[in-house]
Each structure stands twice: as C-alpha cells, then as structure tokens.
Homo-oligomer: A and B are copies of this chain.
Amino acid sequence: MRFQSTSSIQYPSGSGTQPSRPSHLRQVNALGLLRLLREHNPCSKADLVRLSGLSAPTVSSAVAYLESLDLVENLGDGESSGGRPPEMLRFNANRGFVAGVDIGGTRLRMVLADLNGRVVTQWATQFTERQRAPKAVCALIHDGLKRMCQEASTSLKKVLHITVGAPGVTNVTSGIVLSAPNLKDWNDVPLRTMVERETGIEATVDNDTNLAAVGEHWRGSASGVEDFLFIALGTGVGAGIFLRGRLHHGANWSAGEIGYAAVSGRPRQALEVHSTGQMERAIGGLGIEAEWQRLLGRERGANVSELAKLRATEIFDLAVDGDRLAAQIVQYAAQILADCIVDMSLTLDPEVVILGGGVGSHPELCRSTEKLLARNEFAKPQVRSSSLGTQAQLHGAISLSLSASEARLLD
C-alpha cells in the first residue's frame, strides 16, 4: 500500500465525498498509517515510511498526532540490524473497545473485544418471555454492556461501537428488524435507534446468519474465500450469501432466507412472513428431533422414552457411535440439505459451503452431505463445518464493529 495523495486512499464507507481541506489530509495520512501499523503490529517508524511511501517528516508528524490521541505507544528500541536500533511502535488496542450482541430465540449473548478484535469478556442470559420484547432486550443489552465493562475494568464511554444480530430479516441501512418469526411481536422494530438511545453507543444491526458468515470469513472456515454460502441449522434455518468479498443482502434484505425453500417431495406452500418455512420445519433442530421420534416410535415401539428426548446433535453423536436409526436421521437431514445446496449451487456456483449453527456444524452432517453431493458431476461445492460454531455471529459482530469504529478513532 502506497499513498502520497488523498486520491489513493480508501475512505471508510459513509465518509461521503473526498475531503479537500489540509486538516483532512492529515487525518487521512494518520488513518492510513494507523491501518498499516495495525496490519504490521508492532513495527518501526522506518517500516511505516517504507510501507506508506510517505516522507519521514510526514510520518513522524502523523505518529506524534496518533500518540497524542493515545492510539500509538512507543515501545522503545527494537532489535538493531546494524545501525541505530529502531524505535518500535505499537497500536494501543486498549484505547477503546467494541461490542457484539446475538439476540437468539431463547437467550441473549454478548461479547466485548479490544481494538485488535481479541475477546476480553463475554456475558449471556436466558430470556424470560417478557424480556424478549424489543424494549426489554435493549435494556438487557445495556445491562450486559455495563457488566462486561466492569469485568474488563473499563468504562462504557470507551466502547466505540456495538453490532447486534437479530434472528430475522433486517434492513441494515435503516437499522430496522423487519420481521423475526422466532421472536414474538418483533415487526418493524427500529432496533439500531433503540440500542443507540439506550446505550449511547453507535450501533449496527444485521441478520444473525449474515453476521455468522462475516465471522467465518474473518477468522473461521471461510478465511480467504471470497465467494461462499454459509448455511446455519439451529432452531432456525437460514443462509448468509457472501459474494466478491462481502455480504449480499438482496433488494428487500431477505437474501438467504432459505428456511422457506421447498423440500423435495412435499407440496409447496405460499410463503408467509409470520410462519415457519418448509425447509426450517424439516431440518431445523425441532424438525430433526420430530423425525427421530417418528422413526423411533415406528421401529422400536413405546419403550424409548429416554432416547426420544435426545436433541439433534445428540442424535448425530449416536450415529457416529454406530446406531442404525440415528444414522438414518443424519441421512434424512443430509439429503434435504444436499438438495438445497445443489439448487443454490446451480444459481451461484460457490467455491465453498460452510455449515454452521448449533445443529449444522456437527461434523457428521458435513461428511454425509458432502458424500451425497459427490454423486453429481457438478454443483458439488466443497463443504466445510463451521470452525466458530455458535460463536460465529459474535465474531462477525466484532468484525463489523471494528470496521465501523475505525473512522471514529481519530474523532
């Protein structure tokens, strides 16, 4: 990366037109140098001169400015390669923090990270029925933030951005959750504004599966992959569509709502926002468990009360242990999933499909699905289990918070 004039710098999104005032140029140089330092952390001033293509005096002035903002620390002398040992600089990752939130159907999970994206502390709570109303959720988020800040011995004022994942169709531009069938009474909820008012912190909201896809791309199974599908199987079923290095949201923010896709051999139904989709009913956690109970009842009669209580992932574990009936259930889910992946692949031909979510990231499901896809001569993308599991959306939230807060570091 070289930059000598404003025109070669990538501006953070939302910054609008190119600045022209000299003070802005200083900001731009400082921001560019800060980015280089964060990429090559720690490094010397001479490294920054070399990496940026800026003059030594310009770099010195910008570094002094960054030090005055407490964004850069001087570590003293580094190792010499002959001459005078260079002064090493380090990005002060504790200058601020960012937060991530996942609003699930039954619980709220939160995470606080430093400016390197390192998780500092986490907090989670089960929802009561009443706590799931939008206003109550915002209050819980505020509460969680305060607890995490206390835990990390910092103050709420140092939290620069918060990204919230919601289990529903979300307009990222307006910050409104349009619908979330798994959360009662969540329709057209202006979540971003509500969270910002409640906490005083700048916020971003997006669909939880989209955040999980971002997380997998940032530090998970899709690292380095620019075109992939992330399919989440848990209580809900949905996909994050990642193309050319970023999320594809769709014209009505509902790209990836594959929980409503038709299942082979079942009659199609009209799609309704407030009902669960056919794919979700078939291979969401509850659907898999229902199929297991049906199969158990038919094959092993009544004396199966303990087995019937198994959760989807436990049934998959049983299949790994060699249980024939459990293996049938894996096959049932893998077949429906493989059919869905084929149809999506005929449209998008992705390089990789990541299976995630509490149920979807089970390795046995991944193995069986890939085996079924291998029967095809094409439309058989590589299938990988999520490496972040149910934490993926929290990592995605951290990633988006870091991007969003970058421009504000120099405020």
Contact = CB atoms under 8 A, between A and B. Distances in A.
A375 B7 contact: no
A68 to B, nearest CB: 30
Given A243-B243, A376-B271, A377-B271, A348 B255 contact: yes
Contacts of A261: 342-343, 346
Interface in A258-299: 258, 260-262, 264-265, 268, 270-273
Interface string A323-363: 00000000000000001001110111111000000000000
A347 B264 contact: no
Chain A binding surface, main DSSP class: loop
Contacts of A248: 243, 348
A305 interface: no
A257 B5 contact: no
Nearest to A257: B346
B349 A347 contact: no
B376 A255 contact: no
A271 B7 CA distance: 49
A248 B376 CA distance: 22
B376 A251 contact: no
B349 A252 contact: yes
A227 B250 CA distance: 8
A378 B273 contact: yes
Nearest to A5: B7
A244 interface: yes
Q: Which 7 A-B pairs have the closest CB atoms?
A: A250-B349, A251-B351, A255-B349, A271-B376, A270-B375, A7-B7, A254-B349
24 contacts: A7-B7, A239-B347, A243-B248, A251-B349, A252-B378, A254-B379, A255-B347, A256-B346, A257-B349, A257-B378, A258-B347, A260-B346, A261-B342, A268-B342, A270-B377, A271-B342, A271-B376, A271-B377, A271-B379, A272-B377, A273-B377, A343-B343, A347-B347, A348-B348
Interface of A: 5, 7-8, 169, 227, 239, 241, 243-244, 248-258, 260-262, 264-265, 268, 270-273, 339, 342-344, 346-351, 375-379, 381
